[in-house]
Amino acid sequence: MKTILSAEKQTMRDGLSKTMLRLSQEDENVYVLDGDLGTSTKADVVADNNPEKFLQMGIAEQNMMSAAAGLATTGIQPWTFSFAAFLSKRSIDQIQVQIAQPKLNVKMIGGYSGLLTGLTGKTHQSLEDIAIFRTLANMVVLAPGDSKEVEKVMEFAHQYDGPVYIRVARDAYPILFDDDYTFELGKAVTLKEGTDATIISTGTQTSRSVEAAEKLEEEGISVEVLHMPSIKPLDTEAIVKAAEKTGAIVTAEEHSIIGGLGSAVAETLVEEKPVPVVRVGVKDRNSESGPNEAMLDKYEISPNHVADAVKQVLKKK
Amino acid sequence: MSTLLQEEQKDLLINKSKEARKQLIKAVNHAGAGHIGGPMSAMDLFINLYFNELNVSTEDPDNDNRDRFVLSKGHSAIGLYAALAVRGFFPIEELKTFDSLDSRLQAHPDMTILPGLDMSTGSLGQGISAAVGMALGAKLQNKEFRTYCIVGDGESQEGQVWEAADVASKYKLDNLVAILDNNKIQQFGWDAGNGKREIPAVNAHGRWEAFGWHVIDIDGHNHEEITNAFHEAKQVSGKPTIIIANTVKGKGVSFMEDTIKWHSRVPTDEELELGLKELEAGV
């Protein structure tokens, strides 16, 4: 069977830095605010190539987010860059009170989400950001699956008037989307058809889910893969449709199984169309630093773990 | 010190401050909730800002070129509302809705529903950062408006205040004026050892100076000094200004002054009558 996953991998940061530079050049209102992680998030591309649109806000995330709110009231569209861990936990009060509730036009880029953060470990990984951000009223929460989709969601966020949180990752992933792809807010994307079960995945876990589904196909199990770049608003219609079609759901995310995509999907299904669900994610554990493959394996989110979850859910059908 | 304030304008400011203080204690009595001490200590600042200093218009409250004001100590909202109502941003009668369901006068300011509010605040430390963003926005877009922000002395225990102070200084925001409502009492505070509770003395002047700000110390109940300080701030180039306004918590009503229990106590009908009389007479 031919894989839909590209051999070539690209980092989300490539799509992100290229698009951020372009938006800062094309729109006089777009400014980049950095919490002194520009060389990690790659917001430094704007500092290097369009320096008058780059605002260093120092190692002070709370002030950065409140200041972004103030800037937004003057007509500027601030794009704030930090790690997902710091945005979601260190400055969430500022984001709720001054950005989300007043629905100000601030964009938030949470870099280094999930577990694979370049050997940085527990303080710099982020397993809670989806859960935290999706509880905020007015918040749009997006988790693109590859570098191209990062570009597309950024273009959407630029056009959208209101707060948007975009969860991105550090390392390189297979290319899932091409230039013709159109991101639609609140819409799921079917990456692979199937009839026995559906894997609903988001962010970096989507390419691992495709890998798992393709492996299962070779074993004679037909698995649909539904990618959810938009966690809030959520495509509840697509979730219900998948449940009706395959009758068995696996969710997959590089995030805690508490409060993230798996919870959001389960909430929908419990109310609309109860079917067996197995959630793949980090299971209420604290994490550590370690090489990527070992981390995926120890924290039970590798393609093999996704495939095993599909087998488990099929037994519950 | 010479004053820029004409006698007639000074009388107006004193009268408007008195009127707004009366409206404030009436509103808290009516709502059965709210803060008194902090709004009373900041009232002369509110009134001087809205009748003397800020370039704002009740007809066009969202004008792009208006001066901005952020109440970082958001729990003094009822004081700001009283000043805004007296200035004509909304009917004075509406003060009766303070704290009630569906009211535009929320316990803590909500910029999405009340004209004249430039930022939502209430969680301490955040307002001054938003003011930094506004002042920075003006600089980046070559806009002429100035940004003003009242910060509490209790609030200054929040680390975010100093994050904001640091960044404002780095961006040389000479279009930003912070005013410290230095009333020396917070909700519970520290045991002063004399039966009172207080905010132990901090070197506010030295702290702000160390962060690179221009510092002016004034009596925060003296309209001449407030006016002069705003004027002085306009002459400063290359750094933000902080006006340390030394104030009295509960200012204007003798039994409310300088007592911790009036941080957020609700006046009874008798206390209200007494307070209104004292304010009218001027203590």
Question: In tens digits, what is the pLDDT along chain A, a chain of 317 residues?
Answer: 678 999 999 999 999 999 999 999 999 999 999 999 999 999 999 999 999 999 999 999 999 999 999 999 999 999 999 999 999 999 999 999 999 999 999 999 999 999 999 999 999 999 999 999 999 999 999 999 999 999 999 999 999 999 999 999 999 999 999 999 999 999 999 999 999 999 999 999 999 999 999 999 999 999 999 999 999 999 999 999 999 999 999 999 999 999 999 999 999 999 999 999 999 999 999 999 999 999 999 999 999 999 999 999 999 99
CATH code for residues A10-174: 3.40.50.970
CATH code for residues B7-281: 3.40.50.970
In tens, the pLDDT along B197-249 reads: 999 999 999 999 999 999 999 999 999 999 999 999 999 999 999 999 999 99
How much is the pLDDT for A5? 94
Query: How far is residue B61's CA from residue B59's CA, in Å, rounded to a whole number?
Result: 6
> pLDDT averaged over chain B?
96
DSSP readout, B217-245? Answer: EEETT-HHHHHHHHHHHHH--SS-EEEEE
Range(s) within chain A of domains with CATH label 3.40.50.920: 189-316
Q: Do B123 and A97 touch (CB under 8 A)?
A: yes
CATH code for residues A189-316: 3.40.50.920
How much is the pLDDT for A107? 98
Interface mutation vs chain A, best among B143, B163, B169, B172, most A CBs within 10 Å: B163
Residues of chain B with C-beta less than 8 angstroms from the C-beta of A51? none
How much is the pLDDT for A3? 86
Tokens standing for B41?
A: 């200590």
Nearest to B160 among A58, A63, A76 (CB): A63
Sort strands A107-111 and B147-152 into parallel, antiparallel or unpaired. unpaired
Q: How confident is the model at residue B19 (pLDDT cuts 50, 70, 90)?
A: very high
pLDDT at B187 over 80: yes
Q: How confident is the model at residue B4 (pLDDT cuts 50, 70, 90)?
A: confident
In tens, the pLDDT along B64-118 reads: 999 999 999 999 999 999 999 999 999 999 999 999 999 999 999 999 999 999 9
Backbone angles phi, psi at A91, to 5 degrees: -125, 25
Half-sphere CA count of A186, side-chain side, radius 13 A: 5
Query: How far is residue A97's CA from residue A57's CA, in Å, rounded to a whole number?
Result: 20
Burial label, B208 (beta-carbon count in 10 A; 0-12, 13-18, 19+): buried
Its pTM surpasses 0.90: yes
Mean pLDDT, residues B128-140 taken together: 98
Q: Do A75 and B134 touch (CB under 8 A)?
A: no
How much is the pLDDT for A1? 61
Query: How far is residue B1's CA from residue B10's CA, in Å, rounded to a whole number?
Result: 15
Nearest to B166 among A31, A58, A102 (CB): A58
Q: Do A73 and B134 touch (CB under 8 A)?
A: yes
User: Under a CB-based contact definition with an 8 Å cutoff, are residues A138 and A101 in contact?
Assistant: yes
What's the gap in Å between the CA of B101 and the closest CA on chain A? Answer: 17
What residues of chain A have any CB closer than 8 angstroms to a CB in chain B?
31, 55, 57-58, 60, 62-63, 65-76, 78, 93-94, 97-98, 101-103
Q: Which residues contact A149 (CB under 8 A, 6 or more apart)?
A: A15, A176, A177, A181, A183, A229
B178 SS3 class:
strand
Nearest to B119 among A60, A98, A103 (CB): A98
Q: Which of A279, A297, A278 is nearest to A287 (CA)?
A: A297
**Torsion angle defined by CA atoms of residues B137, B140, B145 and B146, in that order, rounded to the nearest 10 degrees:** 70
B150 touches chain A (CB under 8 A): no
pLDDT above 70: percentage of residues in chain B: 99
Interface mutation vs chain A, best among B111, B121, B136, most A CBs within 10 Å: B136
Nearest to B138 among A55, A74, A94 (CB): A74
Nearest to A74 among B120, B126, B141 (CB): B141
User: Under a CB-based contact definition with an 8 Å cutoff, are residues B179 and B150 in contact?
Assistant: yes
Q: How confident is the model at residue B1 (pLDDT cuts 50, 70, 90)?
A: low
